[in-house]
Structure 1
């Protein structure tokens, strides 16, 4: 129900229309419309209310399909994240550095392994921590090293989420192994490894990316960071803007969103890749990021609920 709000700020009075609108399962959002400093008359108020109700329907339609998580799930995620951060801050600098490096090691191993790398977890750790290169395919070695550099860029960058950042991430990751396509948008059709859904045609890449970044800017103000990360990763894979390497960049996009909003990064395990691929395929079928969001909730909880607790 729409109602009138009178707000006093100092000596001035302002009037708003408001409604506590339902925007998802168990989710509500207070929507407001500023009317001015003069209280509208009954006839004007009725007309403004009708107009506001129409605007509310548009707003609700724009938001309802993106709120994937229930309030209790969000509360659990936030509690898990805050609890982990409290424990993390109690570590000394050396312990923090080692914890961070351990995440880099497993993330690089799993993300590249999902994409077909032959390096083992131990080989990745020795390469990244001690610069001991295994006697394996040179491309796998170079991409492991560059994956570490790209992840560091994700954490350090102050650049807003745009095409320039995407191309910079892709170029950093693949400049030594795929120099002819690194940082460049695709020119031929491609597909999502493991999910096999239709991706954007090369002729429409710029159009779809423009809409992608516009939607991201809008949704970043409305969604929980984990919902936003799931949406951003799924939509990126749907577009598949680069000729190769989209899965690895998409997983970095997911973590860019989480890190930028104060949440811990997620490592999707290579042993779970079939579940991960099925989640992406379900997102495509349903035209919604909820299946991936639910997978990320499980991964986030598994990684951080008990991390750094004594005896864990």
Structure 2
């Protein structure tokens, strides 16, 4: 499926999702528990955390310490969940997202593990692992992040399709690489902050496609910011989340009477579609 067709699919799914608003509070709470665990597990696993998804759930819901796992791995889970809570609250506010908010996301991720560097730009120059791509020099970071924040709030950026905008923000942030550690997790949280603000569910990049994801970022960095591979990956993640939430909505008793004009169309679509809804 090509680029534009995927965006049309996203728009169709999003319109159906909006037809069910306002969502039942019980369903919202269940979705939050589900995505707190899934997003935290996959985002941390991409960065090398060895806690499984079920172990991540135990840490978050029961406060249980898992034997054989490091303290830092447990603290990464707790910090990431706090960062999710932060972006979800921030998404409800009609305010600009600037450097302070970005630093706060990073601070929440790392403050229990490395408080000295949490929320602070790196002071060393670094290269992307496994490639020849050199990230910007550390002394350029303040200006680059000011420019990034200006772009993030610019009319040209805000006119983009919300999923394109979120993907581009993710890529631009990662390519600046403002922190010594935690850039990937911060980028995925920032991306989802923009998606949630636009009314989308959290888009989770699955750890199983970690290599494809890293290669998509590297491809853009090495090919004059060609984001075709990254767009494909984020579009698929967005579609998958939209389909999953719609599946829950159409079976919820609280949804009866909502979106009747296209309820059967949604049901038929979900019956035909797989995980990415390509069966139409």
TM-score, length basis structure 1: 0.72
Question: Which residue pairs with 2:141 in the alignment?
Answer: 205
Per the TM alignment, residue 228 of structure 1 is displaced from its structure 2 partner at its CA by 0.6
SS state at 1:305 partner: helix
Structure 1 unmatched runs, 5+: 1-67
Question: Which residue pairs with 1:185 in the alignment?
Answer: 121
Alpha-carbon deviations, 1:53-101, whole Å to 9, x = none?
A: xxxxxxxxxxxxxxx942x4322111112323445755x4223211211
1:246 equivalenced with 2:179 (yes/no): no
Q: Report the Cα distance in structure 2 between the residues aligned to 1:202 and 1:285, rounded to whole angstroms.
A: 20
Question: Which residue pairs with 1:28 in the alignment?
Answer: none
Per the TM alignment, residue 214 of structure 1 is displaced from its structure 2 partner at its CA by 2.0
C-alpha RMSD of the superposition: 2.1
Q: Report the Cα distance in structure 2 between the residues aligned to 1:285 and 1:166, rounded to whole angstroms.
A: 25
Conserved? CA contact 1:194–1:277, under 8 Å: no
Question: Which residue pairs with 2:34 in the alignment?
Answer: 102
Correspondences of 1:160-199 after superposition (within 5 Å) = 160-193=96-129, 197-199=133-135
State the aligned residue count: 243
Greater strand proportion: 1
Question: Which residue pairs with 1:217 in the alignment?
Answer: 153
1:76 equivalenced with 2:13 (yes/no): no
Q: Indicate the structure whose relative CO is greater, using CA pairs within 8 Å and at least 6 residues apart.
A: 2
Moved more, 180-189 or 259-268: 259-268
Per the TM alignment, residue 306 of structure 1 is displaced from its structure 2 partner at its CA by 4.5
Conserved? CA contact 1:230–1:290, under 8 Å: no
Greater helix proportion: 2
Alpha-carbon deviations, 1:167-203, whole Å to 9, x = none?
A: 1111111111011101100001224456662211101
Conserved? CA contact 1:196–1:281, under 8 Å: no
Q: Report the Cα distance in structure 2 between the residues aligned to 1:193 and 1:252, rounded to whole angstroms.
A: 21
1:302 equivalenced with 2:235 (yes/no): no
SS state at 1:118 partner: coil
Per the TM alignment, residue 241 of structure 1 is displaced from its structure 2 partner at its CA by 0.2
Per the TM alignment, residue 290 of structure 1 is displaced from its structure 2 partner at its CA by 3.0
TM-score, length basis structure 2: 0.80
Conserved? CA contact 2:202–2:241, under 8 Å: no
- The verdict on how the C-alpha distance between 1:112 and 1:93 changes in structure 2, with shifts beyond 3 A counting, is same
Structure 2 unmatched runs, 5+: 252-269, 271-280
Q: Report which of the two structures shows the higher radius of gyration computed on alpha carbons.
A: 1
